[in-house]
Chain A
């Protein structure tokens, strides 16, 4: 039993003060749970009986096989009803829905088979026990309470006791009714709690299934990062092969025009157009590099980081020693961390110098950007770093900033070297 089961209110009530239990709503809730369970179980039994019966009879007509094949769906349907009943006893500790798929599209997985097993158990055993216990307890309490009255008319047989007259029955009623109430409350509540806990365990997704879902979630996030990366590369390629080429061709044309146009106002305009085209080309180059640097794709992280560092107005020491290239997503994330980190250093840190270290540590890539600036930096607050945190998170990596006021600032990225799917 998991800790969630023990901490559920019904179990706390069972373990608590017996007087309080009797006067709490739990015995009544439990009784309602057991009686409704008996109804569900009886209906389930009929459902199974009819389904299997019709299925077996019509098996020669093939259709019977399909009817028998629908048994897991019947189990799933019963499981849906049972899950609805659970919060009545277990409260918040009830079973979560194992998936968003409706019962009529039940997958043939372990959870479905467990649900079917529970449904069969409910239909064959549980409901009978529920009904028996509920009826016994209620009957005992009611009869012992009314025994003085009943004994007046006829002999009342209660378990081991034989009550022949009201005189005999009054002391019995005085003792047996409270005892029956307390014991009955316990029996009902414990049975309801135990059964609902069993249902919770059988109808909950197991840990490995949760793990599978987490893995799937992770994979979909990595796929998202991949798609993002692919899109960046596509935009870079489109800009490079399209707009940039045309701009270069345009500057060549303007260059030739400068040679052919005679001196005068026309030539001045052509020269001006040429300068503008060159400026636009320079801007475009910056944009393309920001989208996805070609050097990163061609020559890897070290070369790309050195290039960013070279463009910084302050000296940046680059120490990147990687024996092989990490996967493209990790490389890209690392590059953008450096690019964004150094941009922040230039903008806010008032640093005199900075340093970048990247190395492989076991199965991780560790990258540290440090500066000797004034400190006081945080991730978030509109820096481009918050987006990178999300991106790293998807890869299973982290980004941490250590930046006491007065400096120095250290930005540390850690990412798994391999991106598991």
Chain B
């Protein structure tokens, strides 16, 4: 996919990581228009000059708990279409509902900080978020997959369908899912259709994200 230079607001309280992130983003041709070191600064910077995408740490001063998430939710309430990529140091899916529920669906990413080191993957995920997709860290998805829900809409899915759904949650295309599962594109399309049917998701173009969200909430 063709990358265009993005205007980014970055929130990260550790100078070390902030510099690393700025280095990676600028090398990719993006522009970090503002970097914030706490949640209030982040919200103020986004208000002052809305960027193309916000990248924020979960844990931020002053409380060092989930201020970054809460700032992200506040930003989305004001600008529902603004893509946000959240970086976390922990593999904790417990943070996801807070992010997803308050911040809507499209254009949300939740990645482990380790992932940033895989520069190409990280930049691709960033692009996907900007394009309005939902991207969740494979590690977190694996954890979610391990959770067996006895009830809920996901109970109706087959193992293979869950696998497909998990890969969709990572923001993958049908082609890349087919590659990962060693099946044909047609088979993936069939599974995706079946998932949509079982989860009773209409026919709108956003249903891929809806399916993922249902999965995450399951």
Give A residues with C-beta under 8 Å from B.
237, 240-241, 244-246, 248-249, 251-256, 258-259, 274, 277-278, 281-282, 285, 289, 294-295, 297-299, 303-304, 306-307, 309-312, 315, 317
Contact = CB atoms under 8 A, between A and B. Distances in A.
A49 to B, nearest CB: 69
Given A307-B92, A310-B93, A298 B20 contact: no
Given A245-B16, A255-B116, A274-B117, A294 B92 contact: yes
A255 to B, nearest CB: 4
Contacts of A317: 150
Contacts of A245: 14, 16-17
Contacts of A311: 143, 146
Interface of B: 14, 16-17, 19-21, 23-24, 27, 59, 64-66, 89-95, 113-114, 116-119, 122, 143-144, 146-148, 150
A227 B64 CA distance: 21
B94 A295 contact: yes
Question: Could you tell me the dominant secondary structure of chain A's interface residues?
Answer: helix
Contact of B117 (A252, A297, A306): A252
B90 A295 contact: yes
B69 to A, nearest CB: 9
A310 B148 CA distance: 9
B95 A299 contact: yes
Contacts of B143: 307, 310-311
Contacts of B14: 241, 245, 249
B114 to A, nearest CB: 5
A236 to B, nearest CB: 11
B117 A295 contact: no
13 contacts: A245-B16, A252-B20, A254-B117, A255-B117, A255-B118, A256-B27, A285-B91, A304-B94, A307-B93, A309-B147, A310-B93, A310-B146, A311-B143
A259 B119 contact: yes
Contacts of B90: 285, 289, 294-295
A248 B114 contact: yes
A248 B116 contact: yes
B94 A248 contact: no
Contacts of A315: 148
A277 B118 CA distance: 12
A252 B92 contact: no
B16 A246 contact: yes
